[in-house]
Amino acid sequence: MNDVLSTYEPAVGAQMVAQLRQLGKVLQGARVVHVNSTRYGGGVAEILHKLIPIKQALGLDTSWEVINGDAAFYECTKSFHNALQGDRIDIPPTLLEHFEATNRRNADELRATLEDADFVFIHDPQPAPLLALCPDRRGKWIWRCHIDLSHPYRRVWRYVRRWVRDYDASVFSLPEFSQELPHPQYLIPPSIDPLSDKNMDLTAREVTETRERFGLDPEIPLLVQVSRFDRFKDPLGVIAAHKLIDKVAPTQLVLAGGEATDDPEGALVLEEVMEAAAGNDRVHVLMLPPDAHRTINALQRAADIVIQKSIKEGFGLTVAEAMWKGKPVIGGDTGGIRLQVVDHYTGFLVNTPEGAALRARYLLHRRDLLHEMGERARRHIWENFLITRHVRDYLSLMIGLRMNNQERIEVRT
Ligand code: UDP
């Protein structure tokens, strides 16, 4: 059963795996439930698909539940998402009512499982009311916030905070995202799985085939952004940057995205993107199925530079994915991208299409530097953002909570 873990040793080192086993022993048999609002699409689902099997391999009885909602529910939760990342959106009381009713319905389904668990991780605001709806809970409940909460629209945060404040702890990706809450807050950045289809090594042949499949010219430099079609990812800004670069020397751009079942705005943003890209055959807008992990992997590898020009970003797994493949990233100077892109060292942080274009042109001219930055980028991810570090942080958090945050906790070998 520990075999899953051994497979990570070559990538992350034996010491890391030994630490996980040691911490896992303390939590043997603990019942752990993760709850979020979609099984496919977006970073949270991506992480849970990888995190759960590792926790299971460590002997924790771990499961993953997904709450269900209708279109109105996702409209409401997408508004939370946008407002918590700073948009001034007032949500009508009827929609909030519907949000609460949907959570009540989900609580009826999940109550037995959740109340019985030793640890419950609730991801993001969508399922946050479940805590209040499980009055006989016996375990520790943790609210795990993945979004950029640095400048939330206060009215909406006040509403969400009502559901969040009674948790035993919350987890944020960056210190800037933490809020005034009456419980301990932990900083745990997300991670990528080096062994997953999305990140594993691929043969040069597979990369070439993927290039051919999408009609990309191997002789023309390639920029890639992988993202849901979401305004915070600024796909229009990326197209504007590409125009500036392409004017000077022909350059291809791939914007690869797909749908998340809990994101109702995607179709609208995709339409705007198609319109902006129309008539330019060096811009390729790809709608990929949710399981296109190897395709995305190959596109990131085929890229000369990866772009993630977000305006707000909780973390940005796509940044880590690209850096792991030795690509310098030109990223929006915001949120979790700042944690990964060390400006002028592993990539560049930018605020405008002009800035992105300037940096891309510079790197395409200076291939030596491009490769050097790519090497450092890979190292930076290896040191900080692989899934084993993430699991270690979660295990430490659970042990800390179980021991009621005693100052000194002994973990015996
Ligand atoms: N992703 C994907 N298909 C797509 C778009 C994105 O598989 O069409 C993946 C992407 O590779 C990354 C995750 O979804 O692993 C997105 O996570 P990120 O943190 O970058 O952004 P989020 O969507 O959570 O805001």
Q: For residue 362, give Cα distances in angstroms to 162, 237, 344.
A: 48, 18, 11
Above 80 in pLDDT, residue 276?
A: yes
Q: What is the mean pLDDT of residues 342-367?
A: 98
Examine residue 253 and state whether it is found in any structural domain, yes or no. Answer: yes
Examine residue 86 and state whether it is found in any structural domain, yes or no. Answer: yes
Domain of residue 145: give its range.
2-191+386-402
Question: Is the CB of 296 inside a 6 Å radius of any atom of ligand 1?
Answer: yes
DSSP state at residue 256: E
Confidence of residue 263 (pLDDT cuts 50, 70, 90): confident
Q: Count CB atoms within 10 A of the CB of residue 96.
A: 15
Examine residue 407 and state whether it is found in any structural domain, yes or no. Answer: no
Give the atom of ligand 1 at the shortest distance from the alpha carbon of 315.
19
Distance 3 CA to ligand 1 centre (A): 28
Q: What is the mean pLDDT of residues 343-349?
A: 98
Q: Each residue of 392-405: pLDDT tens digit?
A: 999 999 999 999 86
Task: Confirm if 95 and 72 have CB atoms less than 8 A apart.
Answer: yes
Together in a domain, 127 and 162: yes
* Residue 159 CB-density burial (10 A; 0-12 exposed, 13-18 middle, 19+ buried): middle
pLDDT at residue 42, as a whole number: 84
Question: Is the CB of 262 inside a 6 Å radius of any atom of ligand 1?
Answer: no
Ligand 1 pocket test, pick from 78, 315, 317, 325 with the greatest ligand atom count within 8 Å of Cβ, gives: 317
Q: What is the mean pLDDT of residues 321-327?
A: 98
CATH classification at residue 337? 3.40.50.2000
Together in a domain, 182 and 219: no
Together in a domain, 57 and 153: yes
Question: Is the CB of 228 inside a 6 Å radius of any atom of ligand 1?
Answer: yes
- Partners of 222 in the beta sheet? 252
Distance 26 CA to ligand 1 centre (A): 33
pLDDT at residue 1, as a whole number: 47
Together in a domain, 98 and 209: no
349 three-state secondary structure: strand
Task: Confirm if 226 and 256 have CB atoms less than 8 A apart.
Answer: yes
Share of the chain above pLDDT 90, in %: 93
Together in a domain, 43 and 186: yes
Together in a domain, 135 and 23: yes
pTM for this predicted structure: 0.94
Ligand 1 pocket test, pick from 226, 254, 255 with the greatest ligand atom count within 8 Å of Cβ, gives: 226
Q: What is the mean pLDDT of residues 195-207?
A: 98
Q: What is the mean pLDDT of residues 305-309?
A: 98
Ligand 1 pocket test, pick from 227, 270, 291, 310 with the greatest ligand atom count within 8 Å of Cβ, gives: 227
Q: What is the mean pLDDT of residues 345-355?
A: 98
Above 60 in pLDDT, residue 7?
A: yes
Distance 220 CA to ligand 1 centre (A): 26
Distance CA 91, CA 164 (A): 18
Together in a domain, 175 and 231: no
pLDDT at residue 407, as a whole number: 74
Above 80 in pLDDT, residue 409?
A: no
Q: Each residue of 108-163: pLDDT tens digit?
A: 999 999 999 999 999 999 999 999 999 999 999 999 999 999 999 999 999 999 99
Examine residue 114 and state whether it is found in any structural domain, yes or no. Answer: yes
Together in a domain, 144 and 222: no
Together in a domain, 181 and 307: no
Q: Count CB atoms within 10 A of the CB of residue 70.
A: 9
Question: Is the CB of 256 inside a 6 Å radius of any atom of ligand 1?
Answer: yes
Amino acid in the structure at residue 10: P
DSSP state at residue 323: H
Question: Is the CB of 331 inside a 6 Å radius of any atom of ligand 1?
Answer: no
Above 70 in pLDDT, residue 260?
A: no
Examine residue 164 and state whether it is found in any structural domain, yes or no. Answer: yes
Q: Each residue of 61-108: pLDDT tens digit?
A: 999 999 999 999 999 999 999 999 999 999 999 999 999 999 999 999
Examine residue 408 and state whether it is found in any structural domain, yes or no. Answer: no
Among the listed residues 49, 45, 35, the one whose alpha carbon sits nearest the alpha carbon of residue 113: 35
pLDDT at residue 413, as a whole number: 61
Q: Count CB atoms within 10 A of the CB of residue 165.
A: 15
Together in a domain, 167 and 210: no
Q: Each residue of 221-244: pLDDT tens digit?
A: 999 999 999 999 999 999 999 999
Residue 102: CB partners within 8 Å, gap ≥ 6? 67, 68, 69, 70, 73
Above 60 in pLDDT, residue 2?
A: no
Examine residue 264 and state whether it is found in any structural domain, yes or no. Answer: yes
Together in a domain, 379 and 397: no
Domain count, the chain: 2
Give the atom of ligand 1 at the shortest distance from the alpha carbon of 198.
11
Examine residue 298 and state whether it is found in any structural domain, yes or no. Answer: yes
Together in a domain, 322 and 215: yes
